[in-house]
């Protein structure tokens, strides 16, 4: 965990909306082997495809890509996407910042103002993300063996 930010520093975490200037960082995080292994789409994403995806997402009012920072240093991202009556979320803790409990604070901050039902689809063997979902107050709604659907049980977002 070289260069990792401490759990105590998590209290100073802030979120900001991603911009095109974050494209290379997000591209690197997305193509990290650990991230790919936990993703629904585990293939390596090519730069032109990533850049087009980011530009499309940034222009869509139903989608948000947030960058989590501590002391100005980016430590992860949370994606929120309105889908029907729910908001689907996913997150990546930056390589080098994992296993410090930062994902829980990232997701808590990202969902603190969300009033729609939340959901997250998580690979069944992704224990860190399962812990993040549970810490956010999400409960297991469905399992198909390889994938778990976590969600909030009411329209009011859990705190």
Nearest to 124 by CA among 142, 110, 145, 150: 145
Domain residue ranges of the chain, discontinuous segments joined by +: 7-151
Out of 24-33, 101-110, 116-125, pick the least confident. 101-110
Interhelix angle 102-111/127-135, nearest 10 degrees: 40
Out of 6-10, 58-62, 102-106, 137-141, pick the least confident. 6-10
Q: Which class does domain 7-151 fall in?
A: alpha beta
8 A C-beta contact, residue 149 and residue 119: yes
Which one-letter DSSP state was computed for residue 43? S
Cα angle: 64, vertex 67, 70; to 5 degrees: 150
pTM reported for the whole predicted model: 0.85
Q: Compute the distance between CA of residue 145 and CA of residue 10 in angstroms, rounded to an integer.
A: 33
**Pairing of β 73-83 and β 63-70:** antiparallel
Q: CA quadruple 159, 142, 35, 27: dihedral positive or negative?
A: negative
R_g over Cα of the chain: 15
């Amino acid at each position: 965990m070289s260069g990792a930010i401490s759990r105590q520093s998590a209290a100073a975490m802030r979120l900001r909306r991603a911009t095109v200037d974050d494209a290379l960082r997000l591209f690197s995080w997305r193509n990290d082997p650990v991230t790919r292994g936990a993703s629904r789409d585990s293939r390596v994403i090519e730069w032109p495809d990533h850049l087009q995806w980011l530009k499309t997402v940034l222009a869509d009012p139903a989608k948000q890509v947030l960058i989590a920072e501590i002391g100005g240093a980016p430590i992860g991202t949370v994606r929120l996407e309105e889908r029907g009556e729910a908001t689907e979320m996913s997150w990546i803790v930056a390589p080098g910042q994992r296993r410090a409990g930062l994902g829980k604070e990232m997701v808590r901050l990202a969902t603190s103002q969300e009033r729609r039902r939340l959901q997250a689809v998580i690979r069944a063997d992704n224990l860190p993300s399962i812990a993040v979902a549970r810490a956010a107050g999400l409960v297991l709604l469905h399992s198909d063996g390889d994938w778990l659907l976590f969600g909030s049980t009411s329209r009011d977002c859990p705190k």
